[in-house]
């Protein structure tokens, strides 16, 4: 009996029932009775303002920056005034040491950001699922890093770590680690920025995981335990499969958030010391607004964009496919 329940629930969960099922309003069966098909003009008018905005503010800039990436413009020249230079911007970017370094750092930052925040977020979501005195209060407090503006938290982290006389380096010095200069040392600066990103992002993961876990019935665990499953087996065999869809979505979203993240890094280190924490997006910013070369800047941005568009299109199709199955 118990096994049936587990299998049944697992199966249900795998099919997405109760995890993410469509709401009752999803049309389909009722279409014949609806005037939606006849109200074409109204619906076009409904969508039109958003379409215009998306075209002007999102798609036009992408095409614009694609053109710019083959030109030698500055942030104050129009594309019509700049000269075409062919692939020169791409060549000069791809052959520069800083681009390689930035790509590597972006990858590290993203991997730590995604999996660090996922592990912390999942652990806390599991912890908060159990009965804990004042659990609700902790849930609210733990969301604060996500709510507080990043400029504020970066200011505070600056106070905590910026100089060897700041509180955290002083504490570390008491443990005999000597003068710890987080912002002066390339490796420490990288570690610091990654920790800061995990600190900001884990509440997102915690919320996502909590909502996925909310659909897990405790009886499933009872049944698993009666079957002699250990805690770890129950976790990998029951919990992980049930939350896998949400996990997958949150990984890809967090990847996008990390690759696109400008302020988290910039406010703490400005990309320094000596370019150690210059991610691709900061590199693009520096090319455009410090060196005043929009060509290489948009070349970097465009290569990032291409990667992200591919990632998100693949994700979108996989989610759609999962919905149909």
Partner 1 sequence: MSGQPIAIGGAPSATLGRVKRTSAKSREQKGQWWRFLLILVVTLVVITPILAVFYLSTQPGQNSKVTGFTFENFVRIFGGTDVLLWLGNSLIVALVTVLFSVSIAAPAGYVLSRLRNRLVSGYSLVLFVVQALPVVTAAIPLFITFSVLGLVNTLPGVAIVYIGSTMSVAIWMMAAYFDSIPISLEEAAWMDGASVFGGFRRIVLRNSLPGILSTAIFSFLLAWNDYLIALLFLQDSTKYTMPIGLQTFFQQNAADWGSVMAVAVVMMVPPVLLFAVLNKYFSVGGIGGSLAGR
**Nearer to partner 1 by C-beta: 64 or 178?**
64
The least CB distance from residue 227 to partner 1, in Å, is 13
Nearest to 254 by CA among 157, 104, 109, 101: 109
- The answer to whether 255 and 114 are in contact (CB under 8 A) is yes
The least CB distance from residue 87 to partner 1, in Å, is 18
Angle made by CA atoms 102, 145, 268, in degrees to the nearest 5: 35
**Nearer to partner 1 by C-beta: 108 or 128?**
128
**Nearer to partner 1 by C-beta: 156 or 274?**
156
**Nearer to partner 1 by C-beta: 51 or 111?**
51
The least CB distance from residue 180 to partner 1, in Å, is 17
**Nearer to partner 1 by C-beta: 152 or 178?**
152
The least CB distance from residue 312 to partner 1, in Å, is 4
The least CB distance from residue 88 to partner 1, in Å, is 18
Tokens of 263: 């302020």
């Amino acid at each position: 009996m118990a096994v049936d329940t587990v299998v049944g629930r697992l199966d249900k969960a795998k099919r997405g029932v109760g995890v993410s099922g469509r709401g009752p309003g999803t049309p389909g069966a009722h279409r014949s009775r609806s005037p939606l098909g006849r109200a074409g003009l109204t619906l076009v008018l409904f969508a039109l303002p958003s379409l215009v905005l998306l075209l002007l503010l999102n798609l036009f800039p992408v095409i614009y920056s694609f053109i710019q990436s083959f030109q030698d413009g500055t942030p104050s020249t129009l594309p019509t005034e700049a000269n075409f230079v062919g692939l020169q911007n791409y060549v000069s970017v791809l052959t520069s040491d800083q681009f390689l370094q930035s790509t590597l750092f972006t990858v590290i930052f993203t991997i730590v950001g995604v999996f660090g925040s996922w592990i912390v977020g999942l652990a806390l979501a599991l912890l908060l699922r159990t009965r804990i005195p004042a659990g609700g209060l902790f849930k609210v407090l733990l969301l604060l890093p996500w709510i507080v503006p990043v400029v504020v938290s970066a200011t505070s982290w600056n106070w905590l770590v910026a100089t060897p006389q700041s509180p955290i380096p002083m504490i570390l010095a008491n443990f005999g680690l000597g003068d710890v200069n987080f912002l002066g040392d390339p490796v420490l600066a990288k570690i610091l920025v990654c920790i800061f990103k995990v600190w900001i992002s884990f509440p997102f993961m915690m919320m996502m995981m909590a909502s996925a876990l909310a659909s897990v019935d405790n009886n499933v665990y009872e049944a698993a335990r009666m079957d002699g499953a250990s805690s770890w087996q129950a976790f990998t065999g029951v919990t992980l499969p049930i939350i896998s869809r949400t996990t997958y979505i949150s990984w890809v979203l967090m990847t996008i958030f990390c690759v696109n993240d400008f302020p988290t890094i910039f406010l703490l280190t400005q990309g320094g010391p000596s370019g150690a924490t210059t991610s691709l997006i900061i590199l693009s910013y520096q090319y455009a607004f410090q060196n005043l070369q929009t060509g290489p800047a948009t070349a970097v941005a465009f290569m990032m964009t291409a990667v992200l568009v591919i990632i998100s299109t693949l994700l979108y199709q996989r989610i759609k496919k999962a919905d149909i199955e």
